[in-house]
A and B are shown apart, each in its own frame.
Chain A
Amino acid sequence: MTPPAATAPRPARESPEGGVQTMTYREAIRLALREEMQLDERVFVMGEEVGLFDGSYKVTAGLMDEFGSERVRDTPISEEAFVGAGIGAAMIGERPVVEIMTLNFLLVAMDQVVNHAAKVGAMFGGEVRVPMVIRTPNGAGNQLTAQHSQSFDGWFAGTPGLKVVAPSNPADARALLKAAIRDDDPVLFIENLPIYKEKGEVDTEDDSLGEIGRAAILREGTDLTLCAHSFATVRCLEVADLLEQRHGYSVEVVDLRSLRPLDVETVAASVAKTNRALCVEEGWPSYGVTAELAARIQRACFDELDAPVERVGMAEVPLPYSKPLELGAMPGKDRICAAALATLEGAR
């Protein structure tokens, strides 16, 4: 009767592929799942439509054929039960990767995530661990309307006991998902609907794990720091190019990658250099990720700031169906660009 932390990986099969490949974010996630399932028999996937249907967003396509219906397990529509079942299996040494069709549906399992998974380590005095990953996409932009277009990243990132990661590109997605699966704590791995089709280079022979809690500087600059995660980072990179081409500004982009732990150190070092910060998120900014960032930036960089820390997020309404209304509410490039210019020029 050994505690779960002491259980050893149960090796499965070797990976046949290698080399630098261009792939979508979706394919990078799938690759990480395959690799970890090949490496370790304890890793299994469960969720709604992950098997026969190939996944609602086709992330798990082909995995059931490869690994069988025991390791790629279709569940009933019972988020509370199968998130909890993931916790229980993890507590005795399994490594479940639970897919939630979208972050919106995680709300019905909130009790299991916040009041159970996040509590186990501390509440039981460190006697039990929950090495579980919950993967789920958030995001808006497809006219999915109020109940299916939300980003609650900040709610979960504000919960001690959880780790929350949300990478912005295929290489990081693969490396961080592998790290999350091997982490001994519950990790919420937030994906994004529009980001699934984004492409990038992935060195499939590089098996190093992503560093949870470590941000990345994706673009160097000296005039302004744009700070974001997940799909908002993709937008920020485009805005940074625009600002340079059209307005001649040198803009740095910090990709948070991880929300809890949050790498304020990297953010603060960037802001100390640029003296200006704009934080961007897909969710509602009130009490959100950008609110947290702004509070920490002003404290870490009070003497270095040449302008107030600005924020851009989703307009604070339940998202409407109408395409123009939806576009107007979202933190698109125009709004990010305008806020960036205000931050850059407002204080001049």
Chain B
Amino acid sequence: MGESVATEDPSVETEHRLALYRAMVLSREFETEAERQYKAAKIGGYCHLSSGQEATTVGTVTALEEDDYLVTGYRCHGFALARGVSADSAMAELFGRQDGCAHGRGGSMHLLDVERHFYGGWGIVAGQLPIATGLALGIVRQDRSQAVLCELGEGAVNMGAWHESLNLASLWKLPVVFLAVNNEYGMGTAVDRASAEPEVFRRASAHRMHGERVDGNDLDAVVEAATRLLTLAREEREPAVLEAVTYRYRGHSVADAGLAYRTKDEIAEWSGNRDPIELERSRLLEAGVAAGEIEAIEDDAREEVKRAVEFAEASPEPALDGLARGMHAPGSEAQFAGMRAGSPFGEETLTFDAGLGS
């Protein structure tokens, strides 16, 4: 984390490359396991997987400095892991357990880690854009040298919040990079069936903002572009749109087989010939890394996921008396005390952080 690649030199040293490779493998393995656990009914709700998009995820997050901010939409497992959220707390969150990073209140879409400045996976398409813009406004008000990376799917660019946020960020010169992950489909609607301008980075120009497109499956290219744009945001307060073209192998969510709107051949073309992990693996081999070393890293990532499942299984379900945990700030209990009279809704049993027990 925070070991950004120098702008003039897009190559990364082997050790750092291996760390990034491991992060990509961890994301893939974590989500493969999450799908298995979902089908075993250990994970509920929605579960949006990003298999196939790992170079975009890991490449952009590694370009963040430690105190930069990260905000994403609901396809957030890989981003959380790449930012350093432990597989244990992420998996426990998917299991809805007390030791999850949102204490079982958020689930798959709402991972976060405030200490690592990951301010959430958000569930409403484009809803996170105004909030990311506000984090950038906070940075300016606090006169700090930080940037915000705001992930969104390409389906979000047709929302009003996209236009409003880009306009505000450009008008006020806010340090935010909007990462439009173009995986070709917004749910089942192909980008050219939804967007009059399917090259979504071009939308930035309407707001006098820099926009560019990168091969989202090429880790080097993603790291280079993300590092450059985040540096400009951080140091010059120049916001930007970075469109990463990639592909998701699985359906929109685990409940979608992903075949109604695309062909198996198309999926096979991406997964067979353009897989970001395979691409990076062959680069490592070319660079002289021993196959055994790579396999050891893969085994290690698989072990971490296995341990995460064990951790999640062992973590307790949240206690019912904590139903309203976190809903209001500590100290709010007295404000709500008057609501007990005539209440048919059991407000007296709701507990905030310090308890609102009767």
Contact = CB atoms under 8 A, between A and B. Distances in A.
Contacts of A42: 141
Given A112-B130, A128-B114, A214 B171 contact: no
A265 B167 contact: no
Contact of B344 (A87, A126, A295): A295
Contacts of A126: 103, 325-327, 353
Interface string A250-264: 000000001001111
Interface stretch (A13-21, A50-58, A72-80): A72-80
A44 B161 contact: no
Interface string A300-333: 1100000000000000000000000000000000
A127 B102 contact: yes
Interface in A64-97: 70, 75-76, 78, 80-94, 96
B292 interface: no
A78 B164 contact: yes
Interface in B337-352: 337-344
Interface stretch (A117-125, A135-143, A148-156, A219-227): A117-125
Interface stretch (B132-140, B177-185, B239-247): B132-140
Contact of A128 (B112, B132, B161): B112
A297 B120 CA distance: 40
Given A84-B130, A85-B137, A88-B138, A1 B117 contact: yes
B326 A124 contact: yes
B114 A81 contact: no
A90 B167 CA distance: 20
A68 B104 CA distance: 43
Contacts of A160: 324, 327
Contact of B119 (A44, A91, A258, A265): A91
Contacts of B133: 81, 84-85, 88
Contacts of B132: 88
Given A125-B104, A126-B326, A215 B338 contact: yes
Given A84-B127, A112-B130, A125-B104, A183 B164 contact: no
A80 B112 CA distance: 23
Contacts, number: 209
Contact of B106 (A94, A125, A213): A125
Contacts of B328: 121, 161, 163, 185
Contact of B135 (A78, A91, A123, A183): A91
Interface residues of B, number: 62
Given A88-B138, A92-B135, A125-B326, A213 B127 contact: no
B102 A81 contact: no
Nearest to A266: B338
A116 interface: yes
A138 B29 CA distance: 53
Interface in A266-316: 266-268, 295-301
B9 interface: no
B134 A88 contact: yes
Nearest to A94: B138
Contacts of B138: 88-94
B122 interface: yes
B108 interface: no
B342 A297 contact: yes
B331 interface: yes
B339 A264 contact: yes
A211 interface: yes
A5 interface: yes
A85 B335 contact: no
B110 interface: yes
A81 B164 CA distance: 5
Given A215-B338, A265-B341, A125 B130 contact: no
Contacts of B164: 76, 78, 80-81
A201 interface: no
Contacts of A244: none
A129 interface: yes
Contacts of A213: 334-339
A208 interface: no
A259 B309 CA distance: 44
A184 interface: yes
12 contacts: A82-B130, A82-B168, A84-B161, A88-B135, A92-B69, A126-B353, A127-B102, A161-B328, A185-B332, A261-B336, A300-B342, A301-B342
Given A84-B134, A85-B168, 5 more contacts: A80-B130, A81-B164, A115-B127, A295-B344, A298-B342
Please provide the 8 A-B residue pairs with the shortest distance between their CB atoms, ordered closest to farther: A84-B130, A88-B134, A126-B326, A300-B342, A213-B335, A184-B329, A125-B103, A81-B164
